[in-house]
Amino acid sequence: MGKRIAESRGEVELSAAILQYFADHAAEFLAPKPFKSAMGDAHLEFSPLGVLLSIQPWNYPYYQLARFVGPHLMSGNVMLLKHAPGVPQCAVAFEKVLKDAGVPVGVYTNLFLSNDQAGALIDDPRVKAIALTGSERAGVALASRAGKNLKKSTMELGGSDALIVLDDADLDHTVAMAVLGRFGNNGQTCIGAKRFIVVESMLDKFLPRFVAAAKELKLGDPLDESVTLGPLSSDGALQLILRQINDATSHGAKVLLGGNRVGTVGAFLEPTVLTGLTPDNPAYKQEFFGPVALIFPAKDEAEAIAIANDSPFGLGGGGLLHRH
C-alpha cells in the first residue's frame, strides 16, 4: 500500500509488541474480579463470545490485525478475518506468523471474500459479533446488518481530526508535529491531523513555516530510505482525492501548495495545503485521506474549539500549545 520502509518496520515492531502485551497480561486480565453487591457475594468473569468476523483496512495492514487478534486470541475467541483487497500478501503473512507460533488451525482464518460475501456472513448464526475499521459507507452497511441480527458490532470509521495551534505554541515543535501528523503514512491515517485550526495571532508565523516544511518532503519510492513521502495506496485513492481538491477549489478554496499528481507511474500526489474553506464548501466537513492539509484561521481559542467541534467526525484530535 506504499508505506515507507521505516514506517513499515515500526508497524511490524508495534504489532509484535501488542501481541506480546496481551500474552504477558492474559492471566491478569482474565482473572475473575470481585464485584460489590448488596444482594450477596458476586464476581465478574470473562468468557469468549465465540466466532468473530473482522473486516480490516489496508492503511496499517499488520497493526490493524494485531490490535484485533491480541485481545481476542487471549480471551479464547475464534476469528474470521476479511482483510482489505489491496494487501493480500500481508493477510497471508500474518496468518503464517500465527500458525508458525502454534495457534491451532481454525482459530484464525483469512477469508478472501467480496463485500457481499462478508455481509452475508453476518447473517450466519455461528458468527456472534462483527468488528469493522473502514469507511462510513461500509459502516452503514455492516452496522445495519448487524442490528437486524441483534449482534454486537464495533465500528471505527472516518476521521477529520483537528490540530489546534494557540498563541503560545512552540513553533519549532508545532511545525514538526504538524508535518508528522498530516504526512505520516503518506497522509493515510484515520487519526492523523487533517484540519489545522490556527488562532489569527499565530497564522502568519505558523503557516509559512508549515508550507515550507511540507514543500521539503521528498516524494518517491517508499523502499528508498531517504524518501519522506510515498504514494497513495492506489490509483483509485489518488483519483478520489484529486476530485476532492478540485471540488474544494471550485467552491472557493485556495491551494497554497501542491494539489497535483506527480508523474504517471505510481499514485503520487504533491504535498498539498488548502485554505479559504468556508462552511458552505463541501470540503469543510470531508475527510481527505492523503497528503492534504486544511487550514482554518480562528479569532481566538473559543472560536478554534467551535471550528474543531463543527464536524461529523469524532475520532480524535490534539492541540499544540506551551502553557505552564
CA dist 270 and 230 (Å) reads: 10
Active-site residue, from 11, 90, 190, 287: 190
Nearest partner of 262 among 293, 290, 281, judged by Cα: 290
**Catalytic annotation present for 90:** no
Question: Rg (Cα) of the chain, in Å, rounded?
Answer: 22
Three cell numbers, residue 102: 502454534
Q: Is 200 a residue of the active site?
A: no
Give the Å distances, CA to CA, from 107 to 46, 74, 103, 125, 204.
18, 11, 7, 18, 56
Query: Which of 138, 135, 179 has its CA nearest to residue 287?
Result: 135
The grid coordinates listed for 72 are 481476542
Per DSSP, the three-state class of 229 is strand
Select which of 7, 156, 301, 303 is catalytic: 156
Helix (H) or strand (E) holding 106: none
- Residues with active-site annotation: 156, 190
